[in-house]
Amino acid sequence: MSKSVLELNPAEAVACCTPITREPMSGPQAERVSALLKALADPVRLQLLARVASHEGGEACVCDLAEAFELSQPTISHHLKVLHRSGLLARSKRGVWVYYKVESEVLDSLGKLISSAGA
């Protein structure tokens, strides 16, 4: 069963968009993509995304990430939850810990969306 345009999550919405240097974006597309960009618009979330992406093996445990910030573990978990809900991070639970991995395809699609390459 295919998803309607309204049911696409922000990550899926980016993947189907034509780069903004080639054609204007529709209002509904802009609303969906802006949700993804809002998830990235926080300095802590940008740092978390970079830490997960650069962590050995390309994934990191929340216990490893919390040490790098002067924030409580629940605050770090909140930021990770925002990144996960946006589609930027995948997560898996192993025992009591949650591990996060960057959704590379989403980042690639976002880069292509805002890139001027091929314009």
| Per-residue pLDDT tens over the stretch 14-45 | 656 666 667 787 887 788 788 888 999 999 99
Q: Are 83 and 69 in contact (CB under 8 A)?
A: no
> How many domains, the chain?
1
d(CA 88, CA 40): 9
d(CA 10, CA 17): 11
Q: Please, what's the b/e burial string for 19-28 (b: 16 or more CB within 10 A of its CB; e: otherwise)?
A: bbeeeebeee
In a domain, 63, yes or no: yes
- Using alpha carbons only, how large is the chain's radius of gyration in Å? 15
In a domain, 103, yes or no: yes
In a domain, 119, yes or no: no
d(CA 62, CA 76): 8
In a domain, 23, yes or no: yes
pLDDT on residue 3: 46
d(CA 5, CA 12): 10
Tell me the pTM: 0.78
CA atoms within 13 A on the CB side of 9: 11
List strand residue ranges (DSSP E) for 1-119, in order.
Answer: 59-61, 89-94, 97-102
* CATH code: domain of residue 30: 1.10.10.10
Spans of the chain, pLDDT less than 70: 1-21, 116-119
d(CA 43, CA 63): 19
Range of the structural domain that residue 103 is part of: 5-114
In a domain, 37, yes or no: yes
